[in-house]
């Protein structure tokens, strides 16, 4: 956070402009009243898209708002941001009575709840603003209700998002056994999700390829977020090579090329303009610090400050400058 605060004070971009976007989001939500469902259930997107969005968007919006406010508190020191974030965190830790594991309930929780954990982690040292007894309740919620919702056992992008939830819980709870399990699962995905040429066989042919780039992003984004959580907590796996020689770098370089030049994507035979989700690449902010890539660099320069709705909505702010040591 010290490096980010310094960049904001110096008005150094891309960090400063991205922080202003983050602060605008925080200010828009500063008086937000949490709307936590008593029963968590999200219908399948492809069966009930409207119901799916309605059921999950409260968590999406409140988790992302809490994270924005926690970041703003850490940069500005203004307690109004922390107090508003804590109000949301406490509501989600206390007001859910039951949680379904059917349809998209687990997946949606896996990819939206981590932002709330990130917010909590930024505030956990502020005992005067978030008392220990409230933090203990949140920890109990993570252990007993949130963690069992993870989809880490799945083989496709569901597994990657479940990993983000699980490793976020492990880091917050300081659960070394779970943390090690998550690291092994991360390695498993590198071995089994990435082909020798860097494409993702589980994802590239979705909807006859029309959603192939989107779902590749939707798998690599959580794999990247999980890698960053592991790194920050002492286990750097970015340069890991699987037994078959697969690496995250291979997948990154492949998807970066297709994202910049979607006409080259071979798994869709239709009009490239109809490819969906091509621009969902904010996680390149993290990867480009490890392996500078000309396609990713050009894309980021065009798109900054970038946002996302899943788990990590402010990656240009948090990772637009290299934090590697």
CA distances in angstroms from 80 to 27, 29, 70, 299, listed in the order given: 10, 11, 10, 35
- Tens of pLDDT, residue by residue, the chain (325 residues): 999 999 999 999 999 999 999 999 999 999 999 999 999 999 999 999 999 999 999 999 999 999 999 999 999 999 999 999 999 999 999 999 999 999 999 999 999 999 999 999 999 999 999 999 999 999 999 999 999 999 999 999 999 999 999 999 999 999 999 999 999 999 999 999 999 999 999 999 999 999 999 999 999 999 999 999 999 999 999 999 999 999 999 999 999 999 999 999 999 999 999 999 999 999 999 999 999 999 999 999 999 999 999 999 999 999 998 655 5
Answer positive or negative: Cα dihedral of 203, 206, 210, 214: negative
> Which residue, chain included where needed, has tokens 């982690």?
121
Supply the pLDDT for residue 323: 58
Are the beta carbons of 100 and 40 closer than 8 angstroms?
yes
CA separation for the pair 155, 171 (Å, rounded): 23
My answer on whether omega of the bond before 64 falls inside 30° of 0, hence cis, is no
Task: Give the β-pairing of 98-99 and 39-40.
Answer: parallel
CB atoms within 10 A of CB 165: 30
What pLDDT sits at residue 322?
A: 67
- For position 321, what pLDDT does the model report? 81
What are the tokens at 248?
Answer: 């995250």
CB atoms inside a 10 Å sphere around CB 295: 19
As a whole number of angstroms, the distance between CA 93 and CA 143 comes to 11
pLDDT at 129: 98
Comparing CA positions, the residue from 145, 150, 148, 120 lying closest to residue 135 is 120
- Tokens at 106, concatenated: 């687990």
d(C-alpha 59, C-alpha 63), whole Å: 6
| Inter-residue contact 190 to 242 (CB < 8 Å) | yes
Beta-carbon-side half-sphere exposure of residue 44 (alpha carbons within 13 Å): 5
Sign of the four-CA dihedral 128, 132, 133, 138 = positive
């Amino acid at each position: 956070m010290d490096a980010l605060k310094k960049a904001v004070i110096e008005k150094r971009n891309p960090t400063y402009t991205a922080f202003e976007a983050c602060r605008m989001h925080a200010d828009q939500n500063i008086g937000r009243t949490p709307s936590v469902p008593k029963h968590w259930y999200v219908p399948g997107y492809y069966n009930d898209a409207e119901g799916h969005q309605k059921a999950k968007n409260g968590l999406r919006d409140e988790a992302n708002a809490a994270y924005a406010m926690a970041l703003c508190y850490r940069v500005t020191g203004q307690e109004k941001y922390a107090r508003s974030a804590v109000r949301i965190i406490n509501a989600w830790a206390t007001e859910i009575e039951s949680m379904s594991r059917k349809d998209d309930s687990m997946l949606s929780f896996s990819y939206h709840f981590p932002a709330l954990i990130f917010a909590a982690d930024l505030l956990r040292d502020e005992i005067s603003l978030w008392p220990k007894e409230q933090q203990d309740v949140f920890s109990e919620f993570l252990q007993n209700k949130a963690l069992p919702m993870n989809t880490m056992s799945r083989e496709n992008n569901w597994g990657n998002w479940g990993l983000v939830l699980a490793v976020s819980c492990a880091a917050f709870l300081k659960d070394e056994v779970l943390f090690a399990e998550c690291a092994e699962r991360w390695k498993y995905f590198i071995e089994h999700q990435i082909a020798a040429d860097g494409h993702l066989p589980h994802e590239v042919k979705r909807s006859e390829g029309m959603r192939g780039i989107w779902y590749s992003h939707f798998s690599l984004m959580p794999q990247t977020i999980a890698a960053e959580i592991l790194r920050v907590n002492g286990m750097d796996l970015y340069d890991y090579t699987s037994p078959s020689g697969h690496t995250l770098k291979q997948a990154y370089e492949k998807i970066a090329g297709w994202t910049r030049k979607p006409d080259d994507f071979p798994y869709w035979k239709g009009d490239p303009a109809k490819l969906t989700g091509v621009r969902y690449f904010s996680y390149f902010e993290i990867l480009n610090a490890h392996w500078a890539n000309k396609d990713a660099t050009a894309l980021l320069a065009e798109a900054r400050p970038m946002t996302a709705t899943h788990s990590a909505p402010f990656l240009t702010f948090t990772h637009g400058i290299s934090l590697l040591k």
